[in-house]
Structure 1
Amino acid sequence: MAFEYSGSGALDYFPCRYGKSKLLFRGPRRDLTQPFVGAFGGTETYGKFIADPWPALLEERLRFPVVNFGYVNAGIDVFYSEPQLPEITKASNLTVIQLLGAPNMSNRFYAVHPRRNDRFLRASNMMRAIFDDVDFTEFNFTRHMLTTLKERAPDRFDTVVAELRTAWVARMRGLLDRVAGPKILLWVTDYQAPLQSDPLGPEPLMISKEMVAEVAPLADRLVKVAPSSMARSTGTVGMHFAPLEEPAAATVAGPIVHQEIAEALEPEVKRFL
C-alpha cells in the first residue's frame, strides 16, 4: 500500500483528494464507486511511518477494499467540518471511526486550525482571564500549550480539561450524526512504551471510559484495542523514516499495534459485509 523513496528511509504516502475535499488523505487514490469500507481517524489510521497501516492490513484480511481516510494530527474538527463526509460515508458499506483525543479541537477556551487541528491559533478572552499570567503568543501547537498550562497552573488546568471533555462529547455526537450508514467506533488505548508517559496522560488524550460510553450508543459497534506490552515496546522497529524523523517516529504507533488493530476489527467488520 506504500512505497519507499529510492535511496531514503521515508515513505511515499501518495497523498490524494476525494471529490471537492481540500483534505489530503493517504493514497494511492481509490475508486469510491465500488463497495468499500471507509476508515476515518488521525495519525494512527493514516499510518505515519508505517508501510502497511491497519486499514491496509484489514483489507488484506477481509479481501474487501478499505479506503484510508486518516489524516495526520487530526482532531474531530477535521471530519466534523468536512463537507464531503456525508457523501463519502453514504457511498461506503461501513465506516470505521477512530476515537481521537480532545485537545486538537476548537472550544470555548481556544481555537485550532480548521484542517491542521494540532495548530493552536488563539486563546479566548475567557482563557486569557483564567490564565492571566500566561503569554499565549509563545505557543504554536496545542500539546505544547496544554503541557505548559498543566505545569504552571495545575489547579486551573482542570477547568480546561473539563471544557475539552464536554466539547468532545458534543462534537462527537455531531460527527456521528453526519456519518451515513452503519459505523464502528475504534477505541485504541495507549500505545506508548510501558515506561514512557505523557504529561497530559495516555492516548487518546483526555478521553475517559465515561465519555466513550456517552457516544457509543450512536454507533453500531464499539471496538476497543488495548495494545499489548510487546507491541508497545518495539520502539521504531519496522518503521520507515528519514534520519531527522526518528524522534517523531518514536511517538507513534508501531507496526505490531497496527496488526493488533486489524485483528480486532476483522470479525466485527465482517458482520456488515
Structure 2
Amino acid sequence: MNFQSVLATGLNYREYRWGRSRQVFRGPKPNLKKPYIACIGGSETYGRFAQEPWPVQLEDHFGHVCANWGTPGAGASFFLKDPVLLEACSNARACVIAVMGAHVVSNRLYSVYTRRNLRLRTVSPMLQALYPEVEFSQFRFVHNMLIALHRVSEDRFAVVELEMRQAWLARMRELMTDIETPKILFWFSDSSPDDPDRMQPSIAREMAPPFVDRAMIDELRPYADIYVEYVASAEAADGPRIPGLKPPRVARRCPSHVMHYEAAQLLSDPLSRLLGLSLM
C-alpha cells in the first residue's frame, strides 16, 4: 500500500501487548531472538500519524531488527516501572533513547499515572500552598494544569519549572544508567533545544519534547555514548501526516513522514560506528 492510499484509508498501527504490564506497543512485533536495536521514547518514537516511524525506517536502512517501544505520552518513569522492558533494552546491541518531555514525570509537586503519564494523578500540599487560588480538581491532564498555573503567576511558576527540571534529570539519569548497553541519546523535533519558548506552557505543546532545553540536554549527555540531534527544516516539518479520524491540527503536533525518514538516515551512521558495523 503506497502513502497516498494509506492517507485515504488511515493507519493500522498493528499494536500488540508485551512486557510486565502487557503494555500496548506499535507493531510489527519484533523478533528478539535475533540481534536487535531497542528504540524507546514517547509519541514521536511510536509514530502517531506516521506510516513508517523512524525505528521502522532505521531497520530498513541499518539492516538490524529495531524494536519500537515508543509509547504515546511516555516519560522516563514509564520505562523504569517495567523491569521486563528494561531488561530487553539492556539485552539489545544498542538502545536509542529519544528525549521525552519533562512534564510527564512525577515530582514533589504533582504525580502522573504510571502508564498514562500525560494524565494528572495527584497534586501535593506543597503545590496547593503555592497556588491556593487554583481549583486543581478541574484538571485531568498535566499540560492543561501547567498552562493555568503559568497564567496565574509566572513568578510562582518558576518553582514548578525548577521542580520539573530536577525530576526529569533524575529519572533520565536513572533510566540511562539502568540500561546496560551502548546508548544513543536522540533529540527528535522540529524545534531546537536552544529555542527560548520551549519552557512556555502555552507554546510547549507544539514543541516536542516539551519543557526540555539545551541546559538539561547538556547535563544528560555524559550518560550516553553518543548524542544525536535532529531538528527538522521547515520543509520537512510541513511534510505529510495521516490524521485518519483526527483533525489535521492534532496530527500537526506529531512529526511528519519526511522527519521520520530524515531521522533514520541521521541515526544510521552513528549507530553503525557505535557497534563497529558497516552499513548495508
Work out whether the TM-score is over 0.5: yes
**CA RMSD of the aligned region, Å?**
2.4
Provide the residue aligned with 2:51 in structure 1: 51
TM-score by length of 2: 0.88
Provide the residue aligned with 2:238 in structure 1: 233
Deviation of 1:8 after TM superposition, in Å, equals: 6.5
User: Could you tell me how far apart the structure 1 residues matched to 2:261 and 2:234 are?
Assistant: 14
1:109-124 aligned within 5 A: 109-124=109-124
| Cα pair 1:98 1:185 within 8 Å, conserved | yes
Deviation of 1:85 after TM superposition, in Å, equals: 2.9
Provide the residue aligned with 1:260 in structure 2: 262
| Cα pair 2:188 2:230 within 8 Å, conserved | yes
CA shift in 2, pair 1:19/1:33, >3 Å: farther
1:201-232 Cα offsets, whole Å, 9 max, x none, are: 33322212121111111111000111111112
User: Could you tell me how far apart the structure 2 residues matched to 1:256 and 1:181 are?
Assistant: 29
Provide the residue aligned with 1:185 in structure 2: 185
Deviation of 1:180 after TM superposition, in Å, equals: 1.6
| Cα pair 1:32 1:91 within 8 Å, conserved | no
Deviation of 1:257 after TM superposition, in Å, equals: 1.2
* SS in structure 2 of the partner of residue 24 of structure 1: strand
User: Could you tell me how far apart the structure 1 residues matched to 2:144 and 2:136 are?
Assistant: 11
Matching residue's letter, 2:202: P
1:156-204 Cα offsets, whole Å, 9 max, x none, are: 1111000000111111111111112111100124459x9xx96243332
Moved over 6 A (4+): 1-8
Deviation of 1:3 after TM superposition, in Å, equals: 10
Return 5+ residue gaps in structure 1 as ranges. none
Deviation of 1:76 after TM superposition, in Å, equals: 1.3
| Cα pair 1:49 1:241 within 8 Å, conserved | yes
CA shift in 2, pair 1:2/1:158, >3 Å: farther
1:224-271 Cα offsets, whole Å, 9 max, x none, are: 11111111233xx2x223234433212111111111211110101112
| 1:206 maps to 2:207 | no
Provide the residue aligned with 2:72 in structure 1: 72
Give the structure with the higher percent helix. Answer: 2
* SS in structure 1 of the partner of residue 15 of structure 2: coil
CA shift in 2, pair 1:123/1:4, >3 Å: farther
* SS in structure 2 of the partner of residue 122 of structure 1: strand
Give the number of aligned pairs: 267
Provide the residue aligned with 1:172 in structure 2: 172
User: Could you tell me how far apart the structure 2 residues matched to 1:2 and 1:75 are?
Assistant: 33
TM-score by length of 1: 0.90
Provide the residue aligned with 2:160 in structure 1: 160
Deviation of 1:90 after TM superposition, in Å, equals: 2.8
Return 5+ residue gaps in structure 2 as ranges. none
Matching residue's letter, 1:217: P
